Chain A
């Protein structure tokens, strides 16, 4: 079921993340962090705090992995889980 987003969100795919932390540094809103747990490759994947993303896209461009980060801007369609 997809819905139109009223706020931007950033989604990190933990299995595609290498835990480098570059997205965390890049985020002007400081709304990304790395979790204490590990993904299957042994990295601490990044995650979104769930609040405060402006959809600026900085994290997307700072991330070296093609599929680790997706940024949904305000007005985008998103599968609400």
Chain B
């Protein structure tokens, strides 16, 4: 960098502060305010590093709420404490931007404590300038987490009492214990030497982000003469005397050399790529016409019930899926909410040539009961003239209703004969198909491979389906 012959208003600032009401060339800060000094150092660094067109400054809530008046960068003003969260997303959306979160100690350490902690731990590729003035400036000089013991503020009129408010929070040390962050340093702006160090630290932190090395933060001890009620001429003495003992300066963490450079280029996805990724590239299903055998089988509401693990939900899903592929409206809904208690799993499937209203009904047209509690609990609900199918291998009682059609299917036994009792659900579906004719076997066969997570079971399930159908057909 060539040595500058003139030290003047840095180009990181707007030429004129057009967004500011009144005076367009002064800041809104009180005389002697540390924010102003830090602003100047940042603006100069932005100019010298040649990143003015890449920086996004995040303005917090606090005295620095108007950061956006000043920096000739992208600007965004955000909710109290949330700057690290906002910066996280800005950076992910704009990987080439240099995203800077500028925060006071109330904003960062109190209300936004978790947000800074988590952003640091994620190692977000952002830079945080944290101004520690041991007080809430903007709202009238209240206590901050960093307020010193014994220090009088408007909410600690008797002085901060460690028994009541705890000791001052050392944020840099805290964050430095995390594995996520790359560079953390505490500096101060209380004399020429410390200002020079802050100037360097600000540059290092920005460079860290430019190099893709991860999370960087500079905590700077700065004056709030108005909040402290200290004459600016005495503020540096005050800081040295009061702040220095609690907030040791220095680098708290620096692993820039160990970090791999991170670079991300956002990519545009082609329509093809999107369909592929979303598993939407499925061919249109073949239509296999079928005809229901009785009027009462038309547009059924089916309740499938049994123990969890009996494949109740997936049998229902297979039915709904093949109905869809056969051109019907269909819906599937699992037992949900309060109904979920008590070990029995059930789901409703609706198949209809009309638009489906309520996905659940009190009186289903069809009940498939896979265990005794389900039979006992739901038999009474079946609609008069409806169909009740039950697994007669497992259920050792018989239904008592005489106003409905009852079909006992030894589903578990049939499945067992095929080598896997867990296919009882598919056997039952096969029996339902054969009984009602509402769905074709081909449609169901088309569905099975899609519905099964374990593809090696597909053939076995074809057999189970067939066996279920044959059981009914041979009756």
Contacts and interface: CB of A to CB of B under 8 A. Distances in A.
Find out whether A and B make contact in their complex, taking CB atoms under 8 A apart as touching: yes
Interface of A: 16, 18-22, 24-26, 28, 43, 57-58, 60-67, 69-73, 75-77
Interface string B222-263: 000100000011001000000000000000000000000000
B8 interface: yes
Given A63-B37, A63-B40, A64-B40, A22 B32 contact: yes
Contact of A66 (B9, B191, B232): B9
A24 B10 CA distance: 21
Contacts of A76: 5-6
Interface in B84-101: none
Contacts of B26: 16, 18, 65-67
Given A21-B232, A75-B5, A64 B199 contact: no
30 contacts: A16-B26, A19-B31, A20-B32, A21-B233, A22-B32, A25-B236, A43-B31, A57-B7, A58-B192, A58-B195, A61-B7, A61-B40, A61-B192, A61-B195, A61-B196, A62-B192, A63-B40, A64-B34, A64-B35, A64-B36, A64-B39, A64-B40, A65-B36, A66-B25, A66-B39, A72-B5, A72-B6, A75-B5, A76-B5, A76-B6
Given A20-B225, A63-B40, A66-B43, 19 more contacts: A16-B26, A21-B32, A21-B232, A58-B192, A58-B195, A61-B40, A61-B195, A61-B196, A62-B37, A64-B27, A64-B36, A65-B27, A66-B9, A66-B27, A66-B36, A70-B6, A70-B7, A70-B9, A73-B5
B13 A66 contact: yes
B474 to A, nearest CB: 93
Interface in B168-206: 191-192, 195-196, 199
Interface in B22-70: 25-27, 29-37, 39-41, 43, 70
A63 B27 CA distance: 12
A27 to B, nearest CB: 9
Given A61-B196, A76-B5, A66 B41 contact: no
A20 B37 contact: no
A66 B67 CA distance: 13
A42 to B, nearest CB: 11
A70 B40 CA distance: 13
Contacts of A63: 36-37, 40
B6 A73 contact: yes
B102 to A, nearest CB: 15
Most-contacted residue by chain B among A21, A26, A43 (CB, 10 A) = A21
Contacts of A77: 5
A4 to B, nearest CB: 10
B32 A66 contact: no
Contact of A20 (B4, B5, B31): B31
Contacts of B192: 26, 28, 58, 61-62
State the 6 A-B residue pairs at the shortest beta-carbon distance, nearest first.
Answer: A64-B36, A20-B32, A76-B5, A18-B31, A20-B31, A20-B232
Contacts of A67: 9, 25-26
Contacts of B41: 61
Nearest to A28: B192
Contacts of A60: 7
Given A21-B232, A22-B32, A25-B233, A64 B37 contact: yes
A30 to B, nearest CB: 13
Nearest to B34: A64
A64 B29 contact: yes
Contacts of A25: 233, 236
Contacts of B37: 22, 61-64
Nearest to B10: A66
B426 to A, nearest CB: 76
A54 to B, nearest CB: 13
Contacts of A72: 5-6
Given A28-B192, A58-B192, A66-B70, A71 B7 contact: yes
A57 B43 CA distance: 16
A42 B9 CA distance: 23
A77 B4 CA distance: 12
Most-contacted residue by chain A among B9, B29, B34, B41 (CB, 10 A) = B9
Contacts of A62: 37, 192, 195
Contacts of B32: 18, 20-22, 64
Contacts of A16: 25-26
A75 B35 CA distance: 32
A19 B225 CA distance: 13
Nearest to B233: A21
